[in-house]
Amino acid sequence: MTKITPPTNNELARRIAVAAKRMPADLVIKNAQIINVYTLEITSGDIAIIDGVIAAIGDYNEGHEIVDAKGQFVSPAFIDGHIHIESSTLTPSEFAKVMLPHGVTTIITDPHEIANVLGTKGLSYMLTNSEHAPMDIFFVLPSCVPSTSFEHSGAVIRAQDLEPFYEHPRVIGLAEVMDYPAVMNADPDMINKLQAAHRHHAKIDGHLAGLTTTEINGYLAAGIRNDHECVTAEEALERVRLGMRVMVRQGSGSKNLPELIKAINERNAHRFSFCTDDKHLDELINEGSINHSVKEAIRLGLDPLIAYQMATLNVAQGYDLHDRGAVSPGMKADLLIIDDLNQVKINKVFKDGKLIAENQKLINEWAYTTEHLEGCIESVNMLPLDQSQIQIKPAESKANIIEIIPNQIITRYLKETVPTDQEGYFLPSAEHDLQKLVVAERHHSLGTVGTGIVKGLKLTANSAIASTVAHDSHNMITAGTSDEAILLAMNHLKEIQGGLVVVKDAQIVGQMELQLAGLMSIKKYEAAANEMTSVHHGLELVSPNADFNHFLSLSFLALPVIPSLKLTDMGLFHVESFSHINV
């Protein structure tokens, strides 16, 4: 049960008085074309607001402030049902500055990225920093830290470690359960986490990438009721038929909306909503998040009113956020005035009845803060690396290769003959689009290094890209076409204590510093965006014709719960067999 603060006696009396026209509203939005997400129709009326809550809809003229919508559309504000703030590379308070002008006033975030590096200290930081933002940021607690036992993360979080966090008013659930063997085998610690969520009447999020019908049944039996990992319409329909809610993901690394929209119709749309999961800063600034999903869905042929319903009411109902998600008396006055329904052109954003953004600009920015960073920076702790540690000698004539799929986080498993030197060591090849991939433990100086071969990154000769963002354990990951470029990139990342680095011809040609857990910038979002631009300029030099996000693709090559072949600091990992294999 979500912890919604009940109204006081006085607040209830004031709402009723405004509805009964006995007292003026704080704000009246006149002449609105209201998007009714209950009935999927557009109705006309005035919206009377008191104490940040909609009191009435109809013919209302008395208000301390009057805003004339002039026949424009009024929608409930958007809700992102599943996002990792860390993937924006911003702190929560800076993230909110980017998202509110795009009409997103509520998010449900899973801080398992920072938790995998810093443990519960990272959770506490995210909760504390997010208090600075006039955005409703709800949290679901990381369920799998680490995500599997086949890699080394910075921390381990057990059920008892999560227990105190359920008392926080903005903690509403247990985050995506991705360790499906632990669920299906009823692992004691996993059972303890699931039972604690049930005991606290909290939601439990799913992560069902590539799971069978039997495994989906197991998840549902455990009380896991949603999934955001569908990549085909058939997968989405199977989950909905069995009783799950499906979040349609449209982020930077995974753009599943064009395929999943084929599964949605008027009869089942109430079981679908939108999420971004992971989205990079430049895309968030330029196109937004859920607003962009709505626009794309409409462009692809979805009924506009269904698209708005998926972005608002369906998410709210899925998380028992019964005080938002619709333009209705008694609901929070989180509202958008929209010029163009299909293009989702947002003119004004209201949060709790206050105008907070207009024409894509915040009205007033809140203070930037660097408080509570103690123990959250200087997280790159690793032993020195040399060329001998990153050599690859395939065990057979054909090597096991990871092939990326552009704009997806799943990969293909290939077996191909690769170039080698006279001693049988793999030689990266720009001509054949084959890169060396290295994942090195960076939390506790353990010295573990995994190596593999990846195809599809389209890197030029003598180049490399490296990052301390590598889901979900966030070790250091590097791909390159020469050992020299790879080692330069990795050593530079250690020196700047985390971030994104691009190397070309023995030069650093782009970088972004991510000093907070090696995941997030401690700078204002404008400065962080400038550094992201530097990274993209570097990428244009090392991969000029790519049509995908390199660093999003790279970051998921280390996630051993997403099919098909991945690389951890302990070696090449075959997801379907849930075991390491030789290169």
What DSSP string describes 248-300? EEBSSS-B-HHHHGGG--TTTGGGEEEE-BS--HHHHHHH-SHHHHHHHHHHT
CATH value at residue 299: 3.20.20.140
Give yes or no: residues 61 and 110 share one domain: no
For residues 355 and 412, membership in a common domain is answered with: no
What is the crossing angle of helices 92-99 and 120-129, to 10°? 50
Half-sphere exposure (Cβ direction) of 167: Cα atoms closer than 13 Å: 4
User: For 82, what's the count of Cα atoms within 13 Å in the CB-facing half-sphere?
Assistant: 31
Q: What is the mean pLDDT of residues 236-240?
A: 98
Please indicate, yes or no, if residue 372 is contained in any of the structural domains: no
Torsional class of 388: left (φ above 0), alpha (ψ -120 to 50), beta (otherwise): alpha
Average pLDDT on 167-191 reads 95
Q: Is residue 221 part of a domain?
A: yes
Task: Give the H/E segment covering residue 574.
Answer: strand 571-574
Pairing of strands 507-513, 499-504: antiparallel
Are 269 and 237 in contact, with CB atoms under 8 Å apart?
no
| Whether the predicted pLDDT of 118 surpasses 90 | yes
CA 559 distance to own-chain centroid:
15
Q: How far is CA 299 from CA 307, 338, 546, in A?
A: 10, 17, 24
Amino acid occupying residue 346: I
17: pLDDT strictly greater than 60:
yes
Same domain, 503 and 440: yes
- CA-CA-CA-CA torsion sign (443, 447, 450, 451): positive
Give how far the C-alpha of residue 204 lies from the chain's centroid of Cα atoms, to the nearest Å. Answer: 16
463, 532: one domain: yes
Residue type, 553: S
Summary mean pLDDT of the chain: 96
If asked whether residues 286 and 211 sit together in one domain, one would say yes
Q: Are 337 and 348 in contact (CB under 8 A)?
A: yes
CA distance 582 to 401: 10
Helix axis angle for 233-242 and 213-221, nearest 10°, is 40
Q: At which of 268, 293, 323 does a domain end? A: 323
pLDDT attached to residue 536: 94
- Compute the Cα dihedral for 169, 170, 172, 173 and give only its sign: negative
Answer whether residue 373 is part of any domain: no
Bridge-based pairing state of the strands 171-177 and 203-206: parallel
pLDDT at 289 over 60: yes
Task: Give the pLDDT score at 517.
Answer: 98
Count CA atoms closer than 13 A to 498's CA, side-chain side: 26
What's the pLDDT tens digit per position in 42-66? 999 999 999 999 999 999 999 999 9
Which among 215, 177, 89, 30 is positioned nearest to 555, based on CA atoms?
A: 89
Let me know whether 509 and 549 are in one domain.
yes
pLDDT class of 149 with cuts at 50, 70, 90: confident
d(CA 27, CA 335): 12
Considering the domain boundaries, does residue 382 fall inside one? no
Nearest to 469 by CA among 521, 545, 529, 428: 521
Within this chain, do residues 63 and 93 fall inside the same structural domain, yes or no? no
Would you give the DSSP letter of residue 324?
S
Q: Does residue 444 share a domain with residue 350? A: no
pLDDT single digits (tens) 383-404: 999 999 999 999 888 999 999 9
pLDDT higher than threshold 60 for residue 436: yes
Q: Count of residues for the chain?
A: 583
Mean pLDDT throughout 438-466? 98
Looking at 335, 365, 395, the residue that finishes a domain is 365
Together in a domain, 417 and 540: yes
Residue 2 pLDDT? 59
Please, what is the end-to-end C-alpha distance for the chain in angstroms? 48
Question: Percentage of the chain with pLDDT > 70?
Answer: 100
Q: In this structure, what are the phi and psi dihedrals at residue 497, rounded to the nearest 5 degrees?
A: 60, 45
Contacts of residue 573, Cβ cutoff 8 Å, sequence gap at least 6: 150, 560, 565, 566, 567, 579, 580, 581
E strand segments, 178-266: 203-206, 226-227, 245-249
pTM: 0.94
d(CA 353, CA 330): 12
| pLDDT at 370 (0 to 100) | 85
% of the chain beyond a pLDDT of 90: 92
User: Is residue 253's pLDDT more than 80?
Assistant: no
Range of the domain at 33: 1-76+325-365
State the Cα–Cα distance between residues 486 and 22, nearest whole angstrom. 71
Tell me if 380 is assigned to some domain.
no
Count of domains observed in the chain? 3
pLDDT digits (tens, 9 = 90+) for 454-500: 999 999 999 999 999 999 899 999 999 999 999 999 999 999 999 99
Rg (alpha carbons) of the chain, rounded to whole number: 24
Residues 16 and 133 occupy one common structural domain: no
User: What is the rounded distance in angstroms from the CA atom of residue 211 to the CA atom of residue 423?
Assistant: 41
Query: Tens of pLDDT along 316-347?
Result: 999 999 999 999 999 999 999 999 999 999 99
Q: Does the residue 165 lie in any domain?
A: yes
From CA 176, how far away is CA 87, in angstroms rounded?
Answer: 16
52 CB-near residues (< 8 Å, 6+ apart):
332, 333, 352, 353, 354
Assess whether 510 and 548 both reside in one domain. yes
The CATH number of residue 31's host domain is 2.30.40.10
State the amino acid at position 233 in one-letter form: A
Residue 129: φ, ψ to 5°: -65, -35
Q: 547 burial class (0-12, 13-18, 19+ CB within 10 angstroms)? A: exposed
- Low-confidence winner among 32-36, 209-213, 350-354 (lowest mean pLDDT): 209-213
Residue 83's closest CA among 256, 239, 228, 263? 228
- Matching residue, tokens 């039996």: 221
Q: Please provide residue 444's backbone torsions phi and psi, each rounded to the nearest 5 degrees.
A: -130, 25
At 516-570, the pLDDT tens digits run: 999 999 999 999 999 999 999 999 999 998 888 899 899 999 999 889 999 999 9
3-state secondary structure of 81: strand
CB atoms within 10 A of CB 536: 16
Task: Confirm if 113 and 87 have CB atoms less than 8 A apart.
Answer: yes
Mean pLDDT for the stretch of residues 64-73: 98
Judge whether 376 lies within some domain.
no
Exposure on the CB side of residue 479, measured as CA atoms within 13 A: 31
Q: How many CB atoms lie within 10 A of CB 462?
A: 18
Question: Is the pLDDT score of 1 beyond 60?
Answer: no
Q: Is residue 370 part of a domain?
A: no
User: DSSP E strands: which ranges in 370-446?
Assistant: 399-404, 411-416, 434-440
Quick one: 506 and 548 in the same domain? Answer: yes
